[in-house]
Amino acid sequence: MQITKNLKVKEEVYTEKLDNGLTVMIIPKRKVQKKYIIWGTKYGSNDNKFIAPGETNITEVPKGVAHFLEHKMFEQENGTNSLDVLSSLGVEANAYTTNDHTAYLYECTDNFYEALDEFMDYIQHPYFTDENVEKEKGIIGQEIMMYDDYPEWKVYLNTLEAMYHNNPIKLDITGTIETIDKIDKEILYKCYNTFYNPSNMAIVICGDFVPEEILEEIKKRLIDKKSNGKIQRIYEKEPKEIVKEKIEQKMEVSRPLCTIGIKDCNIENSFSSSEEIVKRHLSIEILLNILIGESSNLYKKLYQQGNISNMPSISYEFSNNYAHILISMQANEPEKIYEELKKEIKKQKEETIKEEEFNRIKKMIYGEYVKEYNDVTEIARMFLSDYFKGINTFDYLEQIGSINLNYVNQILKEVFDETKMCLSIIRN
C-alpha cells in the first residue's frame, strides 16, 4: 500500500489499487468511535453520451439515468431492500448522485462488518425488471415534481441555464418526467456494466481501522470482475459566452431569492495539473471572501442597508468539463446587489487587493480546511470527490501556502469577468 502523510493535520491515507482496477483509500482515525465507508463510481448526471469499452458506436441515454440507477440499486432479487437491511443493523445508510459521480455510503459505531456484507453485496448485484423499473418511474416522478416547487433549487438551476448553452450541467440531475419515461432495464444494465466496473470506482474508509486488515475484508467481499478498460465520455463543445445575463421566475417566496453566477471559461487551459486546479480553487475562495464574505466591506454595506440579512452562500463548482462560481442569498433588491458586486470587482481590479486582508482571509480558509479533518464523514467524502477530479485532498493544505497575492490578482482578472456574469431571481 502507498502511504501519503500530511504532518499539518497529522493524518495519513493508505491507498491500494487492486488488480481489478478498484482504488481503495483508508484513512485511520485512532480511538474514534464512528466508522464510515463510501463507495463511488465516476458516473454522474453529465455522462449521457459515451462509447463503452470494447465498442465503437456511441451510446446515448436519456437524462436522469445515473440518478435512476442509484435509486434502483437497493432493491434485491430476494424481495428485500438493502436500505432496510442496513437500517435493521443500526447503521445509517444513504446514497447520492452528483454531476460527475454516484456514491453509496453508511456510517456506524457497531455492526460495521455485518453491514459491509450487505453493502458490498447490493452494489455488486443489480436487479432490474420491467416491473420494478416502471414502479420507480412513479417514485422519481414525484421527486422531480417536488423539486420543481422548491424555489432554492429552481434559482440554482436557472443560474446554470443562464450560463451554459450545451453542457449537461444545466439539466436537473433527476432528469424530467419525459426523459425518465424512456428508461428501461436494458438501459440500466448497459450503464451499470459500463460505469460500475471496479476500474471506474473507488472506496474510501475512515475510522479506527488497521489498514491492512480492512483491506483484506474488502478483498474477501469483492466478486471476480476484471477491469473493462477506458470509457470514452462525449460532451458537446461549450461556447465561452453565457446564454443570458438575467433570468427571472415567479414562485411563492416571502422574500426574493437570487443567485449570481460567474462562468469560468478558462477551465480547460488552466487545469493542466492537479496542483493548478487546487491553487485556482483556493484563490477563488479567497477572492469570494474578500469581495462579499462576512468581513467584506460590501457585505457590511448591504447588511446595514437592510438589503440582505444573512451571509451569502458562496461556492466554486467544477469538474472535468465545467466550472462556475455561485453566490446565493435572499435579498430585497437583487439587481442592486448584482451591480454593487460588479463595482466591487472592478474596484479590486483597479486598486489591487491589500496584502494584510489577503493574508487574513488565507489563514481563515486554511483553518476551515483543517477543521474538516475532525469528522470522518467529511474526510471520506472529500477524498472520494477529489479523487474523481484527479486531486489529492492533502494538496489543499499543501498548496495554500504557495498562493501569493500576484497569483490571486491574476485569477481575479481572469475569472471575475463581467461579461461572464449572470443573475437568477425568484420573486413572489
**Is 107 one of the annotated active-site residues of the chain?**
no
Confidence of residue 269 (pLDDT cuts 50, 70, 90): low
Q: What integer pLDDT is reported at residue 271 of this predicted model?
A: 56
Sign of the dihedral through C-alpha 401, 268, 102, 4: negative
Cell of 199: 476500474
- Residue 37, Cβ density class (10 Å: 0-12 exposed, 13-18 middle, ≥19 buried): buried
- Look at residues 266, 265, 295 and name the one whose alpha carbon lies nearest to residue 361: 295
259 — phi, psi (to 5°)? -130, 130
Q: Which runs of E-coded beta strand occur in 7-91?
A: 11-17, 23-28, 35-41, 49-51, 59-60
- Mean pLDDT, residues 262-290: 85
274-292 vs 405-415: helix crossing angle, rounded to 10: 80
Confidence of residue 235 (pLDDT cuts 50, 70, 90): very high
Question: Helix (H) and strand (E) counts for the chain?
Answer: 16, 15
Question: 431492500: which residue's cell?
Answer: 81
274-292 vs 334-351: helix crossing angle, rounded to 10: 110
CA atoms of 405 and 308, how far apart (whole Å): 30
- Look at residues 67, 44, 321 and name the one whose alpha carbon lies nearest to residue 179: 67
Q: What integer pLDDT is reported at residue 388 of this predicted model?
A: 96
Confidence of residue 412 (pLDDT cuts 50, 70, 90): very high
Cβ atoms 246, 422 nearer than 8 A: yes
Contacts of 339 (CB under 8 A, 6+ apart): none
- Look at residues 67, 44, 103, 95 and name the one whose alpha carbon lies nearest to residue 322: 44
- Mean pLDDT, residues 117-146: 94
Confidence of residue 267 (pLDDT cuts 50, 70, 90): low
Whole-model pTM above 0.85? yes
* C-alpha separations of 321 from 81, 264, 391, 403 in Å: 35, 11, 15, 24
- Mean pLDDT, residues 99-120: 97
**Would you say the CATH fold of 246-427 matches that of 2-233?**
yes
% of the chain residues with pLDDT over 70: 98
* C-alpha separations of 43 from 164, 236, 385 in Å: 21, 17, 12
Q: What integer pLDDT is reported at residue 272 of this predicted model?
A: 65
Q: What integer pLDDT is reported at residue 352 of this predicted model?
A: 82
Confidence of residue 302 (pLDDT cuts 50, 70, 90): very high
Note the Cα 280 to chain centre separation in Å. 17
CATH architecture of 246-427: 2-Layer Sandwich (3.30)
Cell of 34: 464512528
CA atoms of 21 and 39, how far apart (whole Å): 14
**Which of the following is catalytic: 12, 16, 70, 213?**
70
Residue 138's identity, in one-letter code, is: G
The string of DSSP codes covering 277-310 is HHHHHHHHHHHHHHHHSTTSHHHHHHHHTTS-SS
Cβ atoms 196, 95 nearer than 8 A: no
- Mean pLDDT, residues 115-124: 97
With a cut of 70, say whether residue 219 has pLDDT above it.
yes
Q: What integer pLDDT is reported at residue 106 of this predicted model?
A: 98
Confidence of residue 268 (pLDDT cuts 50, 70, 90): low
- Mean pLDDT, residues 395-401: 94
With a cut of 60, say whether residue 121 has pLDDT above it.
yes
With a cut of 80, say whether residue 131 has pLDDT above it.
yes
Q: What is the CATH number of domain 2-233?
A: 3.30.830.10
Contacts of 69 (CB under 8 A, 6+ apart): 102, 126, 188, 191, 192
Average pLDDT, the chain: 94
Q: pLDDT tens across 13-23, in order?
A: 999 999 999 99
- Look at residues 412, 423, 275 and name the one whose alpha carbon lies nearest to residue 348: 412
Residue 213's identity, in one-letter code, is: E
With a cut of 60, say whether residue 70 has pLDDT above it.
yes
Cβ atoms 197, 21 nearer than 8 A: yes
Q: What is the DSSP letter of 69?
A: H
- What residue segments make up the domains of the chain, in order of their start? 2-233, 246-427
- Mean pLDDT, residues 341-347: 96
CA atoms of 295 and 305, how far apart (whole Å): 16
CA atoms of 151 and 262, how far apart (whole Å): 20
CA atoms of 39 and 30, how far apart (whole Å): 22
List, as own/partner pairs, every contact residues 280-285 make where C-beta atoms lie below 8 angstroms and the sequence separation is at least 24, other chains included: 280/411, 281/316, 281/318, 281/396, 282/365, 282/396, 282/399, 282/400, 282/403, 283/403, 283/407, 283/408, 283/411, 284/316, 284/325, 284/411, 284/415, 285/314, 285/316, 285/365
- Mean pLDDT, residues 137-150: 90
